[in-house]
Each structure stands twice: as structure tokens, then as C-alpha cells.
Structure 1
Amino acid sequence: MKPDRLVMPGQVWGLAATASSGPIFVTSYAGHDLDGTVLTAVDPADGVVWQRSFAGHPGPPRGTSSGTVWVAHAGGTFTEVGVDGSDLRSVVPEHEPHEHMGAFVVLPDGFCVIWLPGHPYRVVPPGRTARVARHTWAGGTVWSTPLVLAEFAFAGADAGWQAQPMEPWRPRTLGAGSREPLLVSGDRVLAEIADGSSGIGVCTLLDAATGRIVTTTPPGPYCHKAITGPGSFLIGRQGYGEFTTTSYDATGQALRTWAGHGMMLVDRHGTVRSAELENGSVSRSRFRVLNPDGSVSDGPLLSGYHTTAPALDVDGTAVFWRDGQLLAVDAERRIRTLFAEDDDRGVMSRILLLDHGQVVFALHDELFVVGGTGLARLDTGPWPCGDGNLGGNPVR
């Protein structure tokens, strides 16, 4: 099968759809302008419908069930854009002039936001810290809770680190976690902040109504996360010898840990699948199922490393792009290639699975729309694709 291709104005930062028929909303750089955002609406059949420009570094769009999309841009402003490209409303949630938006999600009654104490790539001034806040539609603050990453030491466990502890390290720059930094499920919020130099961070579980901290994890190389049910989450760790995934309940209790980490999928039956990502000179990554007893079931070996966040259909088939191939792994963990080409671009998006088995994803500045895959509709579980849903808004 040959995909349709659309070139976006610059490197793509996020995809969202508000319905399984489209349209697709794409955020990208404005060409070579790293402080410019272009929001593009794409019809899966007819191509680009309209484009809008905003000041500020692009982030992922957040689609809503009403068919609109929210984008964050310069000045800590959130703008809701209609399906026709018109501005419906803009909100500036309460924050200090020095604060930068690290991540946001749209709630039924407002927003939840990670505010960083400065630019994520610059040294944090003394006395300032990150925080997570819940805001109303008008931008007022319901609650605000500091997120602290203090001095830490973290031991690398593999041979390369010789099982020696690192020297105590004081974070110099702070960012929201690089992978799924902010998720909301039931009455719980999961937020991550991380040191920009080492990648070591902490995850904090909070009460969504009050902002009370339920638990904070020890410092570690946290990576991919997922929602498993009301108030419950998966948190992965990768790097410095770590390669694990742990499930947490709403009380903050760690229930079990699996020996494996990757981009996760959780179906409507609670089954957890993972396209593994392992740092190493020789890839031993597989597609695996994480079983309820803490064991793992092996699927096929996966070549390469860079991977789109996968999507799962109701028949239990996962689809993702990796190592120049669009791959499908079925419920029996059998793998097939949908199409392949010599393309090693490492900057990629998540997968969107739309009507009639259409698969949509981006490589750098190019949007791929692939039909004729034979895939069924997207699963209805708590985490059937990257960011948890077609809208790319990890709230459940």
C-alpha cells in the first residue's frame, strides 16, 4: 500500500483528531522559526483545509469532544480554535511573569498545567520551583502545588556504570518530563518534572480536587507513562541501567513492577502491551505483553529504536512505525509489515487510527495517511494510543 503524503510547514510536534473521521489537527514549527507555531487542519481524504499561525514554540494540540482544538502559545495563552479555523476563546491562566508553561491538559471545567520556574533550557534562579495548578475556564486558580526536585544521587546499575553511585547532583534546569509529563484520571493527577542535564526526574501523584500530594516517587530516569483506570497509572523507567515499568493505584501504592519498558497500550480488558525501547548498542527490544502477575509474554523482536507511539484496534492489533516500517502486531503477537521504505528520520509523532483502518502519523515535517490496512476501529480502553485518545488529551 502506498501512503498519501502531505508536507507540513515545519517539523511536526503533535497530532489530534476530534472524531474518527477527522479532521486531523497538526501543530508544527513555522518553517525554520523555532518560536513560531502553525496549526494545520487536514481532511484525511482532501488534504489541508486551513492553517493558523501563533507566536511561541509549538506543543501538542488538545482536541475536544465538541470538535474544537486547544493550542498553547506565547504568553502562557491557551486558545480554542473551531473546526473552521476561527478563534472561539483565549484564556491566560494565572501565573507569574517568569513562569513558562511546561505541559497542559484540558479538563471538563478548565485546565491542569505544569508551570516551570523559568525557560526549560536555562538555569533555574535560586528559590524558584516548578508547580502544578488547576485553573478554571476563566483562568483563575483552584489550587497550586509546588513540584520539587531537590539534590539527588542516582546509582547506575549496568556494567557501564559499574554499579557505582553518581555524585550528588543539583538540578540546574527544570522541564516537564519528556514523555507524558501530565496525566489526569478520575480523582488523581500524575505530574513529572525532570532535570534537563541528567534526565533524572520525580513523578508526583496528587488529588485532583485539592492538589494534595498523595505520593512522590524517588528520583529516577522516568520515561513513558499510561493510564490504566480511574486514578491508576503505569510509570516506566529507562536509562542508567533501569528498564522497568511499575503500576500505581490511586493511593500511591506501587502494585507490581515488570522487567521491561516501552510505549504502552492498555485495552478495554486491562491487558497491557508494550513496544519496547531499550538503550543499548544491540537491540533486544521486543513487542511484549505485561501480565497481571508481573511476568511478561514475549512477542517478536523489534529492530531499530525510534518508534511512533502505537495505536491499538478492537481486535487487539497494534500498529506503529519503527526502523523504516509500518508494523502491525496482532493479538497472538504475530507481526506483519504494512509498508516499508528507506527512511530513518528519528523525529516522529504518535499514530492516529481513524475510520476504515486509516493510519496517520508524521515523520519530521511530513504527514503520512495510510489506507487499506485492514485494521479495525480504535480500542476503547484507557490507553489505546499515545496520549490516551484521538484528541491527544490524556484525561480520563
Structure 2
Amino acid sequence: MRSLAIIGTGIAGMACAYFLRNRYDITVFEKNGYVGGHTNTVYLDEGSRKVPVDTGFMVYNDHTYPNLIRFFDHLGIKSVNTSMSFSVNDAASGFETSYTSLSSFFPDLASAFSPQRYRLLLAMKRLFEAGREFLANEKDTELPLTEFIARNHIDPLATEKFLLPMTAAIWSTPTDKMKDYPAITLLRFLVNHGMLGFGDQFQWKTLQGGSQQYKEKILKEISSKTRTNAGVTQLRRQAGKVRVINKLGEYNDFDDVIIATHADQALALLEQPNEPEQNLLSRFQYNVNPVVLHSDPKVMPRRKRAWASWNYRYESIDSKQVGSTHYWMNKLQNVSDRKNYFVSVDYPGEIDPQQTHWSFTYEHPRFDAAAIKAQPSLPQLNENGPIYYCGSYFRYGFHEDAFTSALNLCKQLNDGRDPLS
């Protein structure tokens, strides 16, 4: 049996370990003190009960997460329906609205008589029409979003109060960086996820009891082969094998290695990257996103009628707009009927320390033109071994994308057989 090192325990690394555990002699390396990456459920004490709150992977749907759903079914994981309502709150101007329904779009009487609100609706209609027309032609694959907006004379209201905050929240990326995203990739994603039209929204789901439920099923099979707090610092190709050196100074030689980390981290591990590795992996950049789990409501819209499952907030700092995303976990995952819980990403202000429960830092890929241009060539990295790659950067940067890249790799290493068949 060939030896296999798997580096990283996000959904891609966990999936590889689970599917290949009987075919290889596996050892899994994780730099953190926990397994799971963005599959990270925090348990909070609430009287005599424990409240599970997801802080990374939270939701999915039946349309754009087909492989993940197959995996959840395979593991016997149960889900419940949830709402993916969205709000925008401009703290400086006082503008706030939720795109959940007409009543939340007009959260008070004054907004119902505001010409700006009706202009926003018309501007969104124009945006949806222009986006679908652009996708129907698909002539310019590298046109940045900001140029698409200018060419189609999209009212800034639709971009500043809807499109940019929504996509910034989806990708955990600042709005100024979102403007550089290739329009065709972003618009195609929105159409595929039912987000480029009125009434197109899909039914979203969340895992009953949190994402920890599926992680525990995997860990039952791989925990004895998994090492936490054992970050790998270098990979060295030598004598037909790969030497894996960790932060403790220990090293082991393996027949094969799967790097299931972010692309930039993967490149940094290679002592001598070959030309394709250097050329492709170097194209991907990442945003560092501080995350806080808390109960401080000041991050939410002032009018509770405008509260939604995910809420984008603008702050004016040094004459610049700074954005942050806030997930209302009571609405999103129905975590508690006693206290409000929020997961805030990139919030620049101070959250009440007395209401702060947990904090961490995640990283998310930034898909500029260079990264998207590299994606079609990524499978070339897995043609010969002995080092293989998988991760969310293979597509859109989400859980389904990371899992699908792992599933495809495991199929390749399993003589072409689908591990889920």
C-alpha cells in the first residue's frame, strides 16, 4: 500500500482522507489545533444547553451544490430549510434596506415615499436585464465589472446599494476589489445561484446541528491518522518520493502527497516548484478576514424590520467607505430563541467585549482576471504526481468547489471510479 500525506483539513483535505483511507496508508497534517478549516462550529453555553453556531461554512442549496449533497446523503446528514435574505446598511447616510420582501425593502413609512427607493428598483431591473444580455452574448471574457457597469449605464444606486455589497459579502472581498472581477464570471455565478433577478432565489438549506455534524462522521474514520498542530513547512521531492517536513522539525518520506490548502500556501511549501506550479499557483491572491462571533446588535441595521440573514454594512472611515458582513445566525440557522448571535466579518469597529464569544481569522481567494485565467489549466498539476492539488480555488472559492476538486482527484487516484458511486 502506497503512503500518502494529505496537507490541510478543510473540506477538500477531509474528503481526500475519507475517500482514500482504505486505498492508501494516509497521514493527515493540520497546522491548526482543530480539524475542519471553514467547517468550524463553535459551541456556546446558554444556561444548561450548548448552542452550535457555524462560523465558516453555513448554507447550501440543491441547485449549485450537487456533489456536496451527494456526500451529505452518503453520510446520512440531515438538513433544514433556511432564509438567505440580504440587507444593506450605510451607517453614514442612514440608508438601510432588506431585499427580502417589499415590506422589508421599505422598512418604514418615510422610505415608502422616498423616490430613491423606486429609482433603486428600476436600476436593479436594468442591471438584471443588462447582465442576462451580456451572458447571452459572452463576447468579452475579461471585461472587468466596473467596465460592464459603465458600458451599460447602470445607475450607481444599483451597484452601490445592491450589486457590490452583495458580491463583496459572498466572496468576503472589499467592494473596490470586486470592481476588478471579470464581469462574465461574476454574472454567471449570480445567475447560477438565482441572484440576478426578482423572485429567482433558490431555497437554501443548513445542516441540522451545524456543519460539525458531517465533520464528526468523517473524523470517526480518519481521526487516528490525523495530526493537528503539525503544520508542514516544506515539501522536498527526492529519490522518487516526497519528504514532508513539519514545524516541529520532524520529517517523513511519502510516495504521494495531496496539498489541500490555499493556492498561495501550497506554493510556499514547495522547496523547488516546477514551472507549471510556479506559473499557476502564483496567480491566486487571498483576503485575510477577521471573524467575530458575538451578540452586539450595533452592527445591524437600526430598524429591525431591515434585519436579514446576511447584512452588509458600510462605514465612513477617513473619507473612505469600508464594508463588513454580518450574519444573523438566529435567522440563518435558528440557533437560539433566547439571545441574538452574529458572525461579523471584516468589521472595522469595536464590538462590545462583554458580548464577544469567539474570534478567528479566515482567508478567502480573490478571483481577479489572472486567477480566473489560470483555472482551466489547474488540472494539469495533477497529471503526473507525486504531488497533487485540490481546493476551492479550482472554481468559485466555495465549499462545493473545494469538495468537487477533491472528488475529481480521488476519482483519478481511484482508477477512475467515483468514490460516491
Q: Same fold (TM over 0.5)?
A: no
Q: Between Structure 1 and Structure 2, which shows a larger proportion of strand residues?
A: 1
- TM-score with structure 1 length normalisation? 0.24
Of structures 1 and 2, the one scoring higher in RCO (CA 8 A, sep 6+) is 2
Determine which structure has more spread, i.e. the larger CA radius of gyration.
2
